[in-house]
A and B are shown apart, each in its own frame.
Chain A
Amino acid sequence: MSKIRSDSLFAKLKTDENRDLLLSWLVEEGISYEEAAARCAEHFGFQPSEAALSTFFTRHRFEWKLEQAKLRADATKDKLPADFEAAKKRGLAQREFEMAYSELSVKELVALKRIEIAEARVALDSRKVAMLEKKLAEATEALGDESKTPAEREARMREIFGLA
């Protein structure tokens, strides 16, 4: 991919987490560029212009469209018989890519992105629950460990829950 301009909003946001956060405001909450600019000032310490936000969002919209269109085209290619002529296979996949690309509306893309964000959240929540369950099991074991003094057990509990 091409070099990212150091003065671009993408570069200024520095991390993927920050970029995802900004996208979630724009996509999930559907806030205006004006509101997003104010939130950026609050969260990231700089206020981007509305033009910069529009460029950022447009770039991502383009990438989502490409991603979806490629998925559909690749699926079409995979469905064709293995002995199908390679050039024809490429031609049909290209056709599917173009149709998918032109059919995808911003509304659909936003809906897809919302699903993606919701799935990422569920995955994150599941990881948190698994971590908590592990800590709980360790804590239960530490509490029942008669070989340790009450002070040692308390120290172990603090260690498990990061309170030490």
Chain B
Amino acid sequence: MGHHDPERQKNIRRTILDKLERAEPYALPEPSLQVETNAQLRPPMAQAEFDDALLYLQSHGFIANMPDDFDQDLNKWLITEAGKTLLRK
């Protein structure tokens, strides 16, 4: 099972979307999202796997970054309608 295993990548993306959908209507800060996603994966994700999954999900419009005037350095993620549709497929 490696970084480029398609099933593994799919599983990571799905787990991320699931966590974000449960947090709705609030956004999950990236560190919390990573911890919770990791807790459900065997073996745990490498940082690169997590970063790749976020990049894929954002670039395809399945998640969105929530801007925060209080803390601009912290990424917070929300699931989009397209993300919810993907989760149900």
A residues bordering B, Cβ < 8 Å?
1-3, 51, 55, 58-59, 62-63, 66, 69-70, 73, 91, 93-95, 97-98, 101-102
B contact patch SS: helix
> What does the 1/0 interface line of B14-33 toward A look like (CB < 8 Å)?
10011101110011010010
* A98 to B68 CA separation, bound complex (whole angstroms): 12
Asked whether A94 lies within 8 Å of B26 as measured between CB atoms, the reply is yes
Give the chain A neighbours of B14 by CB distance below 8 A: 2
* Residue in contact with B22 in the complex, picked from A63, A91, A93, A98, CB distance below 8 Å: A63
Report the interface size class on chain B. 20 to 34
* A62 to B34 CA separation, bound complex (whole angstroms): 12
B residues bordering A, Cβ < 8 Å?
14, 17-19, 21-23, 26-27, 29, 32, 36, 39-40, 42, 66, 68-70, 76, 87-88
Given A2-B21, A62-B19, A102-B32, do A94 and B27 touch, yes or no (CB 8 Å)?
yes
- 28 pairs, CB–CB < 8 Å, chain A vs chain B: A1-B18, A1-B21, A1-B87, A2-B17, A2-B18, A2-B87, A2-B88, A3-B88, A51-B42, A55-B39, A55-B42, A58-B36, A58-B40, A62-B19, A62-B22, A62-B36, A63-B22, A66-B22, A70-B26, A73-B26, A91-B68, A91-B70, A94-B66, A97-B26, A98-B26, A98-B29, A102-B29, A102-B32
* A94 to B66 CA separation, bound complex (whole angstroms): 10
Give the chain A neighbours of B87 by CB distance below 8 A: 1-2
* A58 to B35 CA separation, bound complex (whole angstroms): 11
Asked whether B23 lies within 8 Å of A66 as measured between CB atoms, the reply is yes
Give the chain A neighbours of B70 by CB distance below 8 A: 91, 95
Give the chain A neighbours of B22 by CB distance below 8 A: 1, 62-63, 66
Give the chain A neighbours of B68 by CB distance below 8 A: 91, 94
Give the chain B neighbours of A3 by CB distance below 8 A: 88
Give the chain B neighbours of A62 by CB distance below 8 A: 19, 22, 36, 39
Q: A2-B14, A66-B22, A91-B70 are in contact. List 14 more A-B contacts (CB 8 A).
A: A55-B42, A58-B36, A58-B39, A58-B40, A62-B39, A69-B26, A73-B26, A91-B68, A91-B69, A94-B26, A94-B66, A94-B68, A97-B26, A102-B32
